[in-house]
């Protein structure tokens, strides 16, 4: 007989079993209807069927238990595509993320006749991923994409086409009978396998864009399989895109010669602004870095940018002039700028003079220099800002100080000296300039975020209270100076910790 325990107590026990004994948790789910309902919140929501044997094991389990619906907790399913028609559709009613892999019409041309119609069983799917898939043509891809009425995000990773099925018609002819799917976000990861492709890169992106008429955000993971000119083609192919993220941009020097820009006769990109663009540059090759920035500028300059985020790691020595080039190109339209990188202030002075419409600025820099030295570089940047519309200023400086070593008196003394010098450098003097009269929020974080003992925290807090006596104090692990200007009545506080606590208006 099942013990008469309150359901909330049983729920707590199941929560502990999630981490300590998953088998026992599954047994709890099969005990009775009430326990089954409670277990739904704790059972693993991810299921991978990447082999026929795994699928057979699951089938036997469901048949033996007599509860085909017990898999209803699964929200993420990764499965070999040819198994789709055999999946118990009513058992996976809550699937939201579906990843299909290894669809290959060349090695397995005779898929189950119910392959496409069986997709309808996953009617709640919002995220679809296609990995290492090779299609006969665009019609097959279209039938898959359009099978999910609630699709929001599509990931394409190494998509290719069988060379023997080269379509005799032009891409424009293929498009005439295609209906669009509902996805609004496209993640193009690794491009596609050019060696197996029967379309050019331009045709591929144009065709995909016609299938995804609703796409507003595109996320690119660009490697050597997709050259940088794809960014330009992409913008011309997706007229509704307002957000584009180049999440990773990495190519080896030997791939530079493969870079072919679209001809000058190519149609101009649509005249609209990209609201958000993220550029992440990771390269050890100076020439590639320069070419990357130039391609990025060519892609966005005609329509302008309102928000730009630059994530950089690699050769900081090549950063200065290219940052300046980006600022000169987008200064008139840029409203929000984020720069994150290592060693940026050591070799480059970021000039924001061209950014006359800037309302939000975020600088996140790590270096071995002291906070005082880094702040002087920041103060120089702020001094040359021409925008009188700046409302938010976020600065994080990681000087490499090791707060976990503050129990050492010598280390603590140097640490406190740095704080004293930072105060002397005049943070308030910089922030209180007339051109920053519109500032509503200022946050200056001093990292890194290392755990310190309680006694050390008290020492740091006491010192900071004395040095920054005009600021309110909050306590945690790292230091954040924050000011919120409400109706010209500024309040300041120092926050120890990585979290952000805003003062209420």
Task: Give the C-alpha separation, 194 to 81, whole Å.
Answer: 22
Residues 60-112 have pLDDT tens digits of 666 665 555 555 556 667 666 666 655 655 566 677 888 887 777 666 655 55
User: Is the pLDDT score of 185 beyond 80?
Assistant: yes
The pTM assigned to this predicted structure is 0.67
Place of tokens 């702040």: 375
Strands 97-101 and 360-366 come out as: unpaired
Residue-level pLDDT at 258: 38
Strands 479-486 and 441-447 come out as: antiparallel
Radius of gyration of the chain (CA): 28
Of the listed ranges 127-141, 243-257, 364-378, 444-458, the least confidently predicted one is 243-257
Residue 365 exposed, middle or buried by CB count within 10 Å (0-12, 13-18, 19+)? buried
Q: CB of 314 within 8 A of CB of 287?
A: no
User: Is the pLDDT score of 179 beyond 70?
Assistant: no
Q: Per-residue confidence at 358, pLDDT binned at 50, 70, 90?
A: very high
More confident call, 213 vs 282? 213
Task: Give the C-alpha separation, 420 to 426, whole Å.
Answer: 10
Find the length of the chain: 505
Alpha helices in 21-146 (DSSP H): 22-29, 33-39, 52-65, 138-145
Task: Give the C-alpha separation, 52 to 80, whole Å.
Answer: 8
Of 291, 273, 295, nearest to 283 by C-alpha is 291
Q: Tell me how many degrees the CA angle 395-402-383 measures, rounded to the nearest 5.
A: 25
Q: Report how far Cα 396 is from the mean position of its chain's Cα atoms.
A: 20
Of 317, 219, 229, 307, nearest to 266 by C-alpha is 229
Task: Give the C-alpha separation, 72 to 158, whole Å.
Answer: 31
Task: Give the C-alpha separation, 51 to 5, whole Å.
Answer: 41
Q: Per-residue confidence at 36, pLDDT binned at 50, 70, 90?
A: confident
Average confidence (pLDDT) over 216-235: 65
User: Is the pLDDT score of 174 beyond 70?
Assistant: no
More confident call, 29 vs 468? 29
Q: CB of 409 within 8 A of CB of 415?
A: no
* Token pair in block for residue 90: 């009513």
Q: How far apart are the first and last CA of the chain?
A: 57
Residue-level pLDDT at 497: 40
Residue-level pLDDT at 316: 52
Strands 134-135 and 243-249 come out as: unpaired
Give the H or E element holding residue 292: helix 286-300
Q: Per-residue confidence at 480, pLDDT binned at 50, 70, 90?
A: low
- % of the chain at pLDDT higher than 90: 1
Q: Compute the mean pLDDT over every residue in the chain, rounded to the nearest whole number.
A: 68
Residues 186-199 have pLDDT tens digits of 887 755 444 444 45
Residue-level pLDDT at 318: 58
Task: Give the C-alpha separation, 87 to 352, whole Å.
Answer: 57
User: Is the pLDDT score of 290 beyond 50?
Assistant: yes
Residue-level pLDDT at 350: 74
Strands 76-80 and 97-101 come out as: parallel
How many other C-beta atoms can be found within 10 angstroms of the C-beta atom of residue 333?
A: 19
Alpha helices in 313-402 (DSSP H): 319-330, 344-347, 371-383
Q: Per-residue confidence at 479, pLDDT binned at 50, 70, 90?
A: low
Residue-level pLDDT at 218: 81
| Sign of CA pseudo-dihedral 217, 203, 269, 226 | positive
Of the listed ranges 159-168, 213-222, 325-334, 402-411, the least confidently predicted one is 159-168
Task: Give the C-alpha separation, 29 to 435, whole Å.
Answer: 63
Average confidence (pLDDT) over 292-319: 72
DSSP state letter for 52: H
Task: Give the C-alpha separation, 350 to 361, whole Å.
Answer: 12
More confident call, 88 vs 302? 302
Average confidence (pLDDT) over 235-257: 60
Task: Give the C-alpha separation, 227 to 233, whole Å.
Answer: 11
Residue-level pLDDT at 130: 87
Residues 325-349 have pLDDT tens digits of 888 888 888 899 988 876 555 545 6
Q: CB of 211 within 8 A of CB of 145?
A: yes
Of 34, 29, 27, 32, nearest to 8 by C-alpha is 34
**Which bin fits 223, alpha (ψ -120 to 50), beta or left (φ > 0)?**
beta
């Amino acid at each position: 007989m099942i013990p008469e325990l309150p359901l909330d107590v049983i729920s707590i026990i199941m929560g502990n079993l999630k981490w300590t004994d998953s088998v026992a948790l599954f047994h709890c789910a099969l005990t009775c209807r009430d326990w089954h309902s409670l277990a739904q919140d704790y059972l693993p929501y991810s299921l991978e069927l990447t082999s026929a044997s795994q699928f057979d094991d699951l089938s036997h389990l469901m048949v033996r238990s007599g509860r085909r619906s017990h898999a209803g907790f699964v929200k993420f399913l990764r499965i070999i595509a040819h198994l789709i028609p055999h999946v118990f559709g009513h058992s996976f009613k809550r699937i939201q993320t579906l990843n299909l892999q290894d669809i290959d019409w060349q090695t397995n041309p005779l898929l189950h006749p119910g392959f496409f119609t069986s997709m309808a069983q996953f009617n709640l799917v919002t995220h679809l991923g296609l990995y290492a898939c090779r299609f006969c043509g665009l019609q097959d891809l279209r039938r898959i994409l359009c099978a999910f009425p609630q699709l929001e995000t599509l990931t394409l990773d190494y998509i290719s086409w069988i060379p023997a099925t080269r379509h005799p018609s032009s891409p424009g002819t293929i498009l005439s009978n295609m209906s669009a799917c509902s996805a609004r976000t496209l993640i193009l990861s690794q491009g596609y396998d050019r060696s197996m492709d029967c379309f050019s890169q331009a045709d591929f992106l144009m065709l995909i864009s016609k299938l995804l008429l609703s796409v507003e955000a595109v996320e690119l993971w660009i490697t050597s399989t997709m050259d940088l000119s794809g960014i330009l083609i992409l913008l011309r192919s997706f007229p509704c895109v307002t957000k584009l993220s180049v999440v990773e941009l990495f190519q080896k020097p030997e791939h530079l010669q493969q870079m072919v820009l679209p001809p000058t006769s190519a149609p101009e990109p649509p005249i609209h602004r990209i609201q958000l663009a993220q550029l992440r540059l990771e390269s050890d090759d100076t020439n590639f870095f320069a070419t990357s920035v130039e391609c990025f500028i060519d892609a966005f300059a005609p329509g302008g940018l309102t928000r730009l985020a630059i994530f950089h790691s690699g050769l900081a020595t090549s950063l200065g002039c290219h940052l300046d080039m980006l600022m000169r190109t987008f200064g008139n339209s840029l409203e929000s700028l984020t720069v994150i990188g290592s060693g940026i202030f050591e070799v480059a002075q970021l000039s924001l003079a061209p950014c006359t419409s800037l309302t939000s600025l975020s600088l996140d820099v790590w270096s071995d220099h002291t906070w005082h030295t880094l702040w002087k570089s920041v103060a120089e940047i702020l001094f040359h800002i021409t925008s009188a519309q700046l409302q938010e200023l976020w600065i994080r400086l990681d000087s490499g100080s090791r707060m976990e070593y503050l129990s050492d008196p010598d280390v603590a003394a140097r640490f406190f000296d740095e704080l004293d010098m930072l105060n002397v450098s005049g943070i308030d003097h910089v922030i209180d300039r007339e051109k920053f009269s519109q500032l509503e929020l200022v946050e200056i974080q001093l990292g890194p975020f290392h755990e310190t003992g309680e006694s050390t925290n008290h020492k740091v807090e006491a010192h900071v209270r004395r040095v920054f006596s005009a600021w309110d104090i909050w306590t945690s692990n790292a230091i954040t100076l924050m000011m919120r200007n409400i109706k010209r009545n500024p309040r300041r506080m120092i926050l120890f910790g990585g979290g952000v606590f805003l003062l209420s208006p």
